Amino acid sequence: MNTSSQHQKSMINTIIDGIAGIFLPIVSLLSAAGILKGIIAVLIATDVLIKESDNYLVLNAMTDSLFYFLPMLLAYTSAKKFGANPFTAVVIAGIFLYPSLNHILESGQTVEFFHIPLKGVTYHSSVIPIILASALLTFVEKFLNKIFPDMVKGFLTPLLCIIFVGFVTLFLFGPIGMVIGDFLANIYEYIYKFSPIISGALLGTVIQPMVIFGFHWSFILIGMNNIAVLGSDTVLALMGPAVFAQAGAGLAVFLKSKDTKFKSICASSILSALFGITEPIMFGVNLPRKKPMIAVCIGGGIGGAIAGYSGAKAIAFAFPSLASLPVFYGDGFLLYILSDVIAAIIAFIIAYCLKFKVDLAK
């Protein structure tokens, strides 16, 4: 292997390890919220819980608070990972989640900041803007701390960091994530019209890696819009097999591990994935070990192709999971269920057969 190839491989490993390190501290919280979200979905499906009730209002807040305010948690963990002040990072995340500003931006309106347009972007549950902001914060803090004397840098550094990094995030980082996501979503719509099988294979292969950077939200928004306008949607059906592939690969890691504490994390993460929340198993189990993610992409791609062939559609919005299977009831429903099962089995077999270090050094 030449020096250039070694450097590229080292960069990829560094990026993956960095991303995984940002999410690892909140893996257990993500698992808990995912499991609770699944339980609520089951209670609603069985009419034990009514969406219009106060009980649902409180329970939904308990599970959605983590995902809605995810940027603030990631602000802390990413700042710690990069070496920036985590509290300054949390304040920056709070800027684009601040209710009055967030409400305007999420509606798609542009905000004028000293005649500079800040494009409307959905920031809640986002990933990439705050990670980029924390990375920038690291460099800005180091620069300011070098030029300011000790007497003033204690308050001047965070003051200028909040203003500068906050502005760059609203002006640049947020729209960058949205533009990339929208571009990928437009490609999907074109390919699906050409061939549902090919689009299912492609989306099933790449959707879970896209979750790493938060690009999957553009597809979710397409699904929501399709259901609102057309009464049904294919995007959610094609995303489903990759979710179960994560669980299948995670089960293989669980069986191969000899670390009791880690096996407990695997078990809760697998359960969370089956309920449609794959972040815990991806960032806490499969991604840090790299090769299981290959199994996820292969299983998700094959399952996605089958789901595309089935013609299955979601008749209501719900993240693909065991609890949400009823929303796909209709033409191709049984074949869609089979696509989920096949994706999980293929991912499990590949991940179990691949050689990799399961119990990582602490």
Query: Rounded distance, CA 248 to CA 251, Å?
Result: 5
From the centroid of its chain, how far is CA 101? 23
| Tokens linked to 253 | 């890691």
| Tokens linked to 204 | 């099933």
Q: Which residues sit opposite 233 in a β-bridge?
A: 314
- pLDDT at residue 230, rounded to an integer: 67
- pLDDT at residue 229, rounded to an integer: 61
- pLDDT at residue 37, rounded to an integer: 74
CA dist 33 to 46, 252, 298, Å? 20, 23, 27
Helix (H, G, I), strand (E, B) or coil at 233: strand
Q: Which residues of the chain have pLDDT under 50?
A: none
State the Rg of the chain over Cα. 21
> For the chain, what is the mean pLDDT?
86
Query: Rounded distance, CA 215 to CA 223, Å?
Result: 14
Query: Rounded distance, CA 170 to CA 167, Å?
Result: 5
**C-alpha torsion sign, points 11, 12, 13, 18:** positive
Query: Rounded distance, CA 39 to CA 43, Å?
Result: 6
- pLDDT at residue 325, rounded to an integer: 83
